[in-house]
């Protein structure tokens, strides 16, 4: 079993998505989840998934773009979520680091997208930066029962709570950085059945590619680092994280398989 990059942005990469996917397959990556950050990028992600057996998509509005979420965007996202290969809502959540949208708007739009996920019967892909407490509070109040993927996990102080609630926890290339002791401790503590890997390409290239534009192929570098951290083989980390990804996103669902 190969790896699954559970979070990337194929539409943002240099070159074509086909080139990036070919690189990824050569590096042992079986599939990628390409992620929407607003309605236009969500439509692109859905189109890429529709024409490529190795690609799945999400549809959502990033907290940076929360002010763009209105009736038109909501209706558009609802339509996209009706497509079987659009496997999650997101990325959505809170970003109090850059604060590119008012915080009250971020909160309201996050809650609306949790409601979209519930209505669609699909998981939610959560972005949280410098907002761990409020993110978990809103998930407590509005996300009960939703399959939840904590993308690019950056709140190691909440790892035990994530384990308790059964949230999937995804690690990106910053896990490999020298300054990431807290993340490494969290990665060692995450329940085996909840552990995921991602690139967030073109962002957060892992060592030794840091400073370069990230690529889906580089998820293999993060996975190898995670394997050493947990005392696993490369095959074991691929088997565990890919099986988890398939459960998290419902990729083995017959309706999704028929759409491939």
Distance CA 256, CA 22 (A): 22
pLDDT digits (tens, 9 = 90+) for 119-169: 999 999 999 999 999 999 999 999 999 999 999 999 999 999 999 999 999
Residue 212 belongs to a domain with what CATH number? 3.20.20.140
Do the Cβ atoms of 124 and 146 come closer than 8 Å? Answer: yes
Q: Which domain holds residue 184?
A: 3-259
- Please state, in angstroms and as integers, the Cα–Cα distance from residue 53 to each residue in 50, 91, 216, 253, following that order: 8, 21, 16, 14
Residue 252 banded pLDDT, cuts 50, 70, 90: confident
Q: What is the pLDDT of residues 28-54, one digit of tens each?
A: 999 999 999 999 999 999 999 999 999
253: pLDDT strictly greater than 70: no
CB atoms within 10 A of CB 191: 16
pTM: 0.96
Q: Give the pLDDT score at 256.
A: 55
Structural domain count, the chain:
1
- What is the edge-to-edge ordering of all strands in the sheet holding 168-171? 3-8, 29-34, 55-59, 86-95, 124-129, 148-150, 168-171, 195-197
Q: How far apart are CA 222 and CA 98, in angstroms?
A: 25
Place of tokens 């384990």: 163
Confidence label for 212 from pLDDT (cuts 50, 70 and 90) = very high
Assign residue 130 a region: left if phi > 0, alpha if psi is -120 to 50, beta otherwise? Answer: left
Q: What pLDDT, on the 0 to 100 scale, is given for residue 259?
A: 55
């Amino acid at each position: 079993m190969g790896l699954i990059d559970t979070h990337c942005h194929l539409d943002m990469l240099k070159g074509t998505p086909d080139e990036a996917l070919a690189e990824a397959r050569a590096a042992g990556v079986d599939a990628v989840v390409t992620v929407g950050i607003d309605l236009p990028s969500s439509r692109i992600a859905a189109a890429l998934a529709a024409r490529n057996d190795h690609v799945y998509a999400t549809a959502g509005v990033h907290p940076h773009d929360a002010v763009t979420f209105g009736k038109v965007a909501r209706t558009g996202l609802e339509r996209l979520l009706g497509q079987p290969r659009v496997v999650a809502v997101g990325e959505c959540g809170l970003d109090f680091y850059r604060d590119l949208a008012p915080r009250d708007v971020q909160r309201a739009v996050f809650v609306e997208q949790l409601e979209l996920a519930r209505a669609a019967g699909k998981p939610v892909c959560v972005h949280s930066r410098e907002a761990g407490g409020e993110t978990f509070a809103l998930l407590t109040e509005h996300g009960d029962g939703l399959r939840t993927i904590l993308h690019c996990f950056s709140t190691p102080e909440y790892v035990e709570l994530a384990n308790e609630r059964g949230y999937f926890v995804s690690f990106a290339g910053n896990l490999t950085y020298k300054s990431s002791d807290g993340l490494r401790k969290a990665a060692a503590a995450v329940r085996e059945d909840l552990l995921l890997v991602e690139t967030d390409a073109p962002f957060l290239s892992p060592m030794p590619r840091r400073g370069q534009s990230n690529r889906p192929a580089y998820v293999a570098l993060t996975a190898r680092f995670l394997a050493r951290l947990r005392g696993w083989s490369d095959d074991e980390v691929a088997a565990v994280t890919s099986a988890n990804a398939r459960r998290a996103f419902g990729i083995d669902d017959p309706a999704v398989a028929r759409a491939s």
